[in-house]
Structure formats: structure tokens, C-alpha cells
Amino acid sequence: MTNLTPVQPIHVGADQMAVKRQADAVARILDATGDPSLPPHLADALAAQAMIDTMRKQTLSMGEVAATLAAAGPKKLNLAMASAVEKVRNQQAMDALLKSLTSAYMAGAVREALDADHEAIATRLSYAFRKAKGDLIDAAKDLPGKDPLADAEAVLAAGAGDAWTVARTACEMLLSISSAFDNGTLYQRAGNAPPQVAPLAPIVAVADIKAEVIETFAHNPVDDMETRRPTLAVRAYADALLDHGPAVAVLKIARGDFAGAVTLDLATDPAEVLQRIRRLNTAFTREFQRDGSGIRMLR
């Protein structure tokens, strides 16, 4: 038997659905870029899943087996019986294997395929990402207000209708690209950060910042404002996302609202995504200072 690495099953139904949503998102966004072919690992995992679904529908009819035996006659009965026994054994073995091969294992195989294909998917989406990012940066300069995508009156007053259309389309593309890399577990890794910010980590880079240090009793910041500025900018980004939604948060990044601490950049592998989420967690972590030692306090 070929020595294969066992798949880690996904037993939670919600997580299985998240994997399906991610695979569907990959298919949609690749199709939108003009090349609908799936990356190799994902294509193989989905093809295997389809084959297994077909196998589940193929059942041996015991009535047909009995009819074949009845028609065999005395001269062929022994041979027909041996053949029938072999078919029944094979069917029983197949049924047992398919019963154990639950959706948990198939979802696990698809998730691992998506992780393996991350770099290939990012490469194929890089042009669409760069174009949408560039379009959004250009359009964002002409859009007024704190929530320009929703404030139609302000947009019309500024004569920025065309910029609004471009920005809206670019945001939709960027968020679609991000969803192609969200396997449904990113929000679980947010730690101290609001979980809603984690799913955008595939397209949102965060500066390498350190946890905020505050005095033990007075709770005053120990670091100077220059040191704290990137941390506060990341928190402002999270506030924008929570208050106005991901599209406006992405637009504000393009507009340069977060002092360069938060930028639009497509992660090339899952490890980079997790590093960004760890930095988001750090931005929402405070440490007490007592006699020169740090005691961590979650914000």
C-alpha cells in the first residue's frame, strides 16, 4: 500500500461548511479572472470526493444476484455461486469503508489541499489583486467622509460618483480574494484582537509591533507616542472594520488612514497569514510594568 500522510478529519459541521465555502470561493474568483481551472491539490481532492460520492450510489442488488443464481442451472451453479459470494464480499467491504470515510475526512482532505495550493492560488490572483488595489488607491483619494461607500449624499456632492463605482468594484474584488484564503478557522486565532479582523489577514499586512506597556497602578502608557503609534493605528483599523464593515476598512487602508501600520498586501502562504494574526493579537495586548518586570494583561 502506498505510504500516504493521513488526513486530519474535521468533525465540526460548521467547520466543514467553512471548507466548502472556501473551495467555492476559490472556484468563483479563479473563474472571474478568466482561468477557471482549479489548482492541482484542490482539483485532486474534489475529484476524489466526487468519485466517493458516486461509489456511495453504486449498490449491489441482492435480488439481481438471486435471479442470476436461479438462472444458472446445475452445471453453472457452483461457478455462479462463487462469483456471487465474491461480489457480496466486495460490496460488504466497500460499504464498511465508505461508512468510515465520513464527511469529516473528506473536508479535512479539501482543507489540506487548499493550504497546499495557497501559493499557487496567490500567484494566479496576484494580478487581479494588484489591479484592484491600485484602482482602490486611486479612487479613494476622491471619496469624502468616514463611510464613503454608504454616504451617497456626500459622494454626489463631491462629484465622486465614478470614483465610488470604481472603489466599490475594487473592494468587492479584494474581499473575494481574501475569502479564497479563509478556511473558517482564522477568527478562532485572533486571541485578544476582535475576531472579525482575522479573516482579512490574507490581504491585510500588519506592521511588526510590540505589546503596549502600561504602569501597574496608574495604567499610564510607559512607551512614548512614537512607539505606540503603530499599535494605535492597528486598533483604529479594527475599530473601522467593526463600525463600518470590511469594505470601508479596506478603503481606509488604501487611503492611508492607518499611518502605514496596516497595508494591503497578498499573503503568499498560510504561515504569513498566521503571522499577521499574531501581530493583530499583539496590538490588543497590554503588559503591566512592575519593578521592571512585565505581567501580561489581556486588553
- Host domain of residue 207: 13-39+117-298
Give me the pLDDT at residue 1, please.
Answer: 45
Is residue 71 one of the residues assigned to a domain?
Answer: no
Q: Three-state SS for 11? A: coil
Is residue 143 one of the residues assigned to a domain?
Answer: yes
pLDDT mean values, one per 10 residues, the chain (299 residues): 73 87 95 93 94 86 88 89 92 87 89 95 96 96 79 79 92 96 87 93 94 72 80 94 94 92 96 95 82 47
The three-state (H, E, C) secondary structure of 37-63, written as one string: CCCHHHHHHHHHHHHHHHHHHCCCCHH
| Residue 198 near residue 277, CB atoms below 8 Å | yes
Give me the pLDDT at residue 101, please.
Answer: 80
Is residue 134 one of the residues assigned to a domain?
Answer: yes
Give me the pLDDT at residue 218, please.
Answer: 58
Is residue 79 one of the residues assigned to a domain?
Answer: no
Give me the pLDDT at residue 295, please.
Answer: 47
Give me the pLDDT at residue 123, please.
Answer: 96
Give me the pLDDT at residue 298, please.
Answer: 43
| Residue 215 near residue 291, CB atoms below 8 Å | no
Is residue 271 one of the residues assigned to a domain?
Answer: yes
Give me the pLDDT at residue 3, please.
Answer: 59
Give me the pLDDT at residue 219, please.
Answer: 65
Q: Is the pTM of this model over 0.85?
A: no
Is residue 121 one of the residues assigned to a domain?
Answer: yes
Is residue 104 one of the residues assigned to a domain?
Answer: no
Radius of gyration of the chain measured on its C-alpha atoms: 27
Task: Write b or e for each residue in 36-57: b if 16 or more Cβ atoms lie within 10 A of its Cβ, otherwise e.
Answer: eebbebbeebbeebeeeeeeee
What's the structural domain count of the chain? 1
φ, ψ of residue 263 to 5 degrees: the values are -135, 160
Is residue 65 one of the residues assigned to a domain?
Answer: no
| Residue 163 near residue 139, CB atoms below 8 Å | yes
